[in-house]
Structure 1
């Protein structure tokens, strides 16, 4: 684990990588997922409780877990969420448009709270603003933390361009429109911390999205 970003106060971002299987539409793929913690020495939130609840609990340590935030409900981003919630008492937050995907993995354990575009959550003195970015999944969201100059994009935007489409409940045009209208409006130097793989910057991804929009379809 590392702490790549820290605010002027005590809030910081911590990073954990977990491994498991992504399953959808009858297929399965071995994947590594980024799990992000935002907080300080007393309290944190977890973004995308993937694969290994025990590893996430170890990263939290003796701090209070305020919330488990889901960027979307593909199984590899939520499969450890109920166990983490049971161990800590923290509520699980999900956009309601992704409940159809959630139920594929957790049919008897609904998420506890709904996310909506524009919602704000606070931890360790910093605000996480919910940005609804449908396309990779209907209820996909990103979490923008202006005090840390960071946006957590799940599988909406990666280093190199938009997330995958072509599977159930996804749509390419919707995804690119979400990125253009709701992410590329953020400052160019905003760090993009993704659901898989390396981080990037909003400004670095703007040209790839512009090329997609300008190219033949």
Structure 2
């Protein structure tokens, strides 16, 4: 299926790591020995790297060389994880191609919780069906992750949860802020908050038994861009490493963009870690 692909290509990763390290194209060229025009061509998807170029850039940017080269060769794509988390709990993945974004429903036959809501409203309502929507939990409040929020709320009062630093970004009758380490309880579903700021101030992973909804903290083979600036880059990566990648290898990772993966997948294939 079209949506089952890595979110980032070689050029995306180079650009994210370069900006995270606070380097201009010219500064990266000097540090790596790869000409500035060539670096710009990589980031602009106009050229594929050689292995030596990939290795030089990995060293200059603090990336794992073998994993970066694997990405450049399109040598890895994770297998789809089983959506069944046990005890009757299933993850339903809803995809919106124009934004290449996922929304999720965690639930059983009686009730469910929406994790982000960037998928088309009709698709989300169809997937919810006659079940009780217990709440909407946001990994962060970027527009592509809340596209259908207003429509979901039109059906009745539903609490919306988002990190406390992003409460003001969400327009809803009942917005509840959470912080790192909090436990969100909605019916029988419990989410532990794994705060990893960098992409946004409130960007979080949401941990349930056996899985994490990572939002834009980490992608399969990459990370969400550290848009808050270079001063947040090391903290962003450190939080993902300590809070998400420290979980058991079989933990399923349902990302905000791109193919789903697992902790073991990322430890083996993600060049940022």
Question: Could you say whether these structures have the same fold, taking a TM-score greater than 0.5 normalized by the shorter chain as the test?
Answer: yes
Unpaired segments ≥5 residues, structure 2? 1-79
Change (3 A) 1:89 1:99: closer
- For residue 151 of structure 1, give the secondary structure of its aligned residue in structure 2: strand
User: 1:12 maps to which residue?
Assistant: 90
Which of these residues, 115, 121, 129, is aligned with residue 178 of structure 2?
Answer: 115
User: Quick check: 1:202 aligned with 2:257?
Assistant: no
CA shift at 1:86, angstroms? 2.2
Which is greater in Rg? Answer: 2
User: 2:197 maps to which residue?
Assistant: 134
Deviations 1:6-64 (A, max 9, x none): 23321111111124xxxxxxxxxx41211111011111000111152222111100000
- For residue 83 of structure 2, give the secondary structure of its aligned residue in structure 1: strand
Cα distance in 1 for residues equivalent to 2:93 and 2:102? 7
Cα distance in 1 for residues equivalent to 2:193 and 2:112? 17
Cα distance in 2 for residues equivalent to 1:70 and 1:169? 24
User: Quick check: 1:58 aligned with 2:123?
Assistant: no
Cα distance in 2 for residues equivalent to 1:79 and 1:133? 22
TM-score by length of 1: 0.79
Change (3 A) 1:126 1:50: same
Which stretch shows the higher mean deviation, 91-100 or 74-83? 91-100
Cα distance in 1 for residues equivalent to 2:136 and 2:223? 24
Which of these residues, 215, 226, 234, is aligned with residue 165 of structure 1?
Answer: 226
Change (3 A) 1:150 1:170: farther
User: 1:84 maps to which residue?
Assistant: 152
Which of these residues, 203, 210, 213, is aligned with residue 152 of structure 1?
Answer: 213
Cα distance in 2 for residues equivalent to 1:142 and 1:94? 11
Give the strand-richer structure, 1 or 2.
1
Change (3 A) 1:207 1:98: farther
CA shift at 1:97, angstroms? 1.2
Cα distance in 1 for residues equivalent to 2:127 and 2:163? 25
User: 1:33 maps to which residue?
Assistant: 101
Contact kept? 1:48, 1:69, Cα under 8 Å: yes
Contact kept? 1:135, 1:173, Cα under 8 Å: no
Unpaired segments ≥5 residues, structure 1? 20-29
Change (3 A) 1:125 1:186: same
Q: What is the root-mean-square deviation of aligned Cα atoms in Å?
A: 2.6
Give the helix-richer structure, 1 or 2.
2
TM-score by length of 2: 0.64
Change (3 A) 1:112 1:198: same
